[in-house]
């Protein structure tokens, strides 16, 4: 095989598109491979009501802004449209439906990229395959005794099938809290099962997106970030300790140690405060059928003790595995 030239970028999500566009701009030969049959496939697979919680004007890729007409909080389908347009405007021609299966060192110090459509020899490879593509359902004891359907958030699309049902949402990340609100909108009774109470932040304060605080603190040490973020919550979010979501003393340290991301409030604070969403302890097991089957019925969730927590390495219904 001839010696490789140029750069091969794997994945046509935000990172892959931005990287490939920068290489094109610099006059470098680049190829972009995407296993799905469309650009922005990770977003296309998410729930219908998904909106970015990062503000539009800080969510675009280098070179082309997200159009103002998409609003402050960009909807899923608008984002996909933007990513497609971005590829076109940047002169990218992603090869869709090509999966990279293996990458090996070539003899000439480049790389051999093995795909399901043959082998490519290239000089450089950029992996932009994303961080949350593989759903992980915890291996809960007794799960098989649960008399109804259990759905991972990656497979959840819209709430109509849950109207009037008793639903347990496991997790307290942004997907879990947004899905909880989605379910409320069709009259479901929603319980949020929380293992590690997350930090909670408003999406914006006095009209300023909270993302700006994150950017301002990007290089600050934990000793500065922790009190500032805790104070931001104290002044902008009511105390939800009585409802089961206590304030976090060191939110940044908690995030670094456990991977528990802050919730960006898009309505969950009011819903919990008003008792419309009930907060329960971590789900550690299912105790078998109780009564007639209901969708996502929670038979019983046991309060986890320290030992359970140590042995419970699973994620909640949505996020990646814990870092601890
Ligand atoms: C529910 C949810 C909400 C989010 N909200 C926000 C938000 O508001 N703001 C924000 O900035 N971020 C948000 N994120 C994070 C978001 O996922 C990232 O910002 C962004 O999608 C990361 O882009 P990426 O290019 O790294 O990965 P992805 O968008 O996941 O793209 C990776 C691409 O690589 C492709 N791929 C994977 N493996 C292969 C392979 N072997 N061969 C070929 N192609 C492959 C995939 O098909 C995919 O298209 C959210 C994430 C989730 C899950």
Query: Ligand 1, closest atom to CA 40?
Result: 49
Question: Using a 6 Å cutoff on CB, does residue 76 contact ligand 1?
Answer: no
**CA 133 – ligand 1 centroid, Å:** 7
From residue 94, alpha-carbon distances to 31, 148, 250 in Å are 7, 41, 43
Question: Using a 6 Å cutoff on CB, does residue 135 contact ligand 1?
Answer: no
123 and 34 together in one domain:
yes
Which domain, by its residues, includes 263? 149-316
**CA 7 – ligand 1 centroid, Å:** 20
Do the domain assignments include residue 79?
A: yes
**CA 43 – ligand 1 centroid, Å:** 7
Q: Write the pLDDT tens digit of every residue in 21-73.
A: 999 999 999 999 999 999 999 999 999 999 999 999 999 999 999 999 999 99
242 and 302 together in one domain:
yes
Q: What percent of the chain has pLDDT over 90?
A: 59
The model's confidence at residue 303, banded by pLDDT at 50, 70 and 90, is: very low
158 and 97 together in one domain:
no
120 and 156 together in one domain:
no
Do the domain assignments include residue 219?
A: yes
154 and 271 together in one domain:
yes
121 and 157 together in one domain:
no
Do the domain assignments include residue 142?
A: no
25 and 111 together in one domain:
yes
Do the domain assignments include residue 284?
A: yes
Q: What percent of the chain has pLDDT over 70?
A: 87
Most trustworthy range by pLDDT among 137-146, 219-228, 275-284, 311-320: 219-228
CATH number, domain of 73, equals: 3.50.50.60
For atom 35 of ligand 1, which residue has the closest CA? 11
Question: Using a 6 Å cutoff on CB, does residue 9 contact ligand 1?
Answer: no
For atom 19 of ligand 1, which residue has the closest CA? 14
Do the domain assignments include residue 108?
A: yes
181 and 293 together in one domain:
yes
Do the domain assignments include residue 321?
A: no
**CA 158 – ligand 1 centroid, Å:** 20
Do the domain assignments include residue 98?
A: yes
Do the domain assignments include residue 133?
A: no
The model's confidence at residue 311, banded by pLDDT at 50, 70 and 90, is: very low
Question: Using a 6 Å cutoff on CB, does residue 23 contact ligand 1?
Answer: no
**Considering 127, 162, 190, which residue would you say is the last residue of a domain?**
127
Question: Using a 6 Å cutoff on CB, does residue 129 contact ligand 1?
Answer: yes
- What number is the average pLDDT over the span 65-90? 97
**CA 318 – ligand 1 centroid, Å:** 14
97 and 12 together in one domain:
yes
**CA 132 – ligand 1 centroid, Å:** 7
For atom 2 of ligand 1, which residue has the closest CA? 175
pLDDT score, position 1 = 57
pLDDT score, position 260 = 83
Question: Using a 6 Å cutoff on CB, does residue 41 contact ligand 1?
Answer: yes
For a ligand 1 pocket test, name from 9, 12, 42, 49 the mutation site with the most ligand atoms within 8 angstroms of its C-beta.
42
156 and 56 together in one domain:
no
pLDDT score, position 136 = 85
Structural domain tally of the chain?
2
Window from 135-139, 243-247, 254-258, 287-291 with minimum mean pLDDT: 287-291
For a ligand 1 pocket test, name from 13, 35, 36 the mutation site with the most ligand atoms within 8 angstroms of its C-beta.
13
123 and 155 together in one domain:
no
User: Per the confidence metrics, is the pTM higher than 0.85?
Assistant: yes
Q: Write the pLDDT tens digit of every residue in 239-265.
A: 999 999 999 889 999 888 888 888 999
178 and 247 together in one domain:
yes
For a ligand 1 pocket test, name from 35, 94, 175, 319 the mutation site with the most ligand atoms within 8 angstroms of its C-beta.
35
């Amino acid at each position: 095989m001839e010696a490789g030239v140029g750069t091969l970028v794997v994945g046509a999500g935000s990172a892959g598109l931005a990287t490939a566009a920068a290489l094109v701009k610099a006059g470098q030969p680049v190829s972009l491979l995407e296993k799905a049959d469309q650009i922005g496939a990770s977003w296309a697979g998410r729930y219908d009501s998904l909106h970015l919680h990062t503000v539009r004007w800080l969510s675009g890729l280098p070179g082309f802004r997200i159009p103002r007409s998409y609003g402050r909080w960009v909807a899923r389908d608008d984002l996909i449209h933007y990513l497609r347009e971005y590829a076109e405007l940047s002169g990218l021609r992603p090869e869709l439906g090509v999966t990279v299966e293996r990458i090996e060192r070539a003899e000439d110090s480049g790389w051999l990229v093995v795909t399901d459509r043959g082998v490519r020899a290239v000089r450089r490879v950029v992996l932009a395959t994303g961080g949350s593509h593989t759903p992980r359902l915890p291996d809960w004891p007794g799960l098989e005794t649960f008399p109804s359907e259990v759905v991972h958030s990656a497979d959840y699309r819209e709430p109509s099938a849950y109207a009037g049902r008793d639903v347990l949402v496991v997790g307290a990340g942004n997907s879990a809290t947004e899905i909880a609100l989605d379910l409320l909108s069709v009259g479901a009774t929603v319980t949020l099962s929380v293992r590690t109470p997350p930090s909670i932040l408003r999406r914006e304060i006095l009209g300023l997106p909270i993302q700006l605080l994150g950017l301002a603190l990007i290089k600050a040490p934990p000793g500065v970030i922790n009190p500032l973020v805790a104070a931001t919550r104290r002044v902008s979010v009511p105390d939800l300790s009585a409802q089961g979501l206590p304030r976090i003393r060191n939110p940044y340290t908690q995030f670094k140690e456990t991977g528990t991301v802050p919730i960006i409030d898009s309505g969950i604070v009011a819903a919990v405060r008003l008792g419309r969403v009930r907060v329960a302890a971590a789900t550690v097991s299912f105790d078998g059928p109780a009564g007639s089957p209901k969708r996502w019925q929670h038979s019983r969730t046991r309060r986890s003790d320290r030992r359970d927590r140590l042995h419970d390495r699973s994620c909640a219904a949505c996020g990646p595995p814990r870092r601890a």
